[in-house]
Structure 1
Amino acid sequence: MTVAVMWEARAVAGRGEDLLAWVRAQQLPGTPLRRELLRAPQDRVLVITWWDAAFDADLPQLPEPAEDLVTRAVHRWRFESVGG
């Protein structure tokens, strides 16, 4: 089964590049099948990692950034692939 783990944060205004740099520097204990980094208006950053694992597997996730870098707690979601 393929599981996608999504991690989304919103940077403090004007600190989007800092948040992107912080995310790029984070190493996961394990190697996902794929890792993608995206950004959106309002300094939002989204990371999606894909894993060959059961839906309820204990998978590595990015931590919470420092409070002075983000406007709120990180949002996290988990999805399973249902095919194309």
Structure 2
Amino acid sequence: MTVALMWEARATEGRGKELLAWAQAQRLDREPLRRETFRAPGDRVLVITWWDAEFDAVVPELPEPAGELVSRAVHRWRFEAVAGEG
């Protein structure tokens, strides 16, 4: 099974580039199958990691950034791949 973890944070106003650099510099305890990083208006950063694991498996996740770098708590979601798509 493939499970995808989504990590999304919103930077404090004007600190989007800094949050993006912080997220890209974070290393996980082990390598995912795939990792992609995105940015969006409003100084938001999204990181998606894919794992060969069961839905509820313990897999490495990005931590919370320092409080002064983000305007709210990080949002996290977990999804499983659906067979027969694509």
Instruction: Give the TM-score, by structure 2 length.
Output: 0.96
The 5 A counterparts of 1:5-84 are 5-83=5-83, 84=85
| Cα distance in 2 for residues equivalent to 1:80 and 1:21 | 28
Gaps (5+ residues) in structure 2?
none
Deviation at 1:24, TM superposition (A): 1.0
Letter in 1 for 2:61: Q
| Cα distance in 1 for residues equivalent to 2:31 and 2:69 | 26
Where has structure 1 moved over 3 Å in runs of 4 or more?
none
The 3-state SS of whatever aligns with 2:23 is helix
Deviation at 1:20, TM superposition (A): 0.6
Gaps (5+ residues) in structure 1?
none
> Please, what is the CA RMSD of the aligned residues?
0.5
Q: Deviations over 1:29-82 (max 9, x none)?
A: 011000000011000000000000000100100000000000000000000000
1:2 is matched with which residue? 2
Tell me the matched-pair count.
84
| Cα distance in 1 for residues equivalent to 2:80 and 2:23 | 23
Q: Percent identity?
A: 71
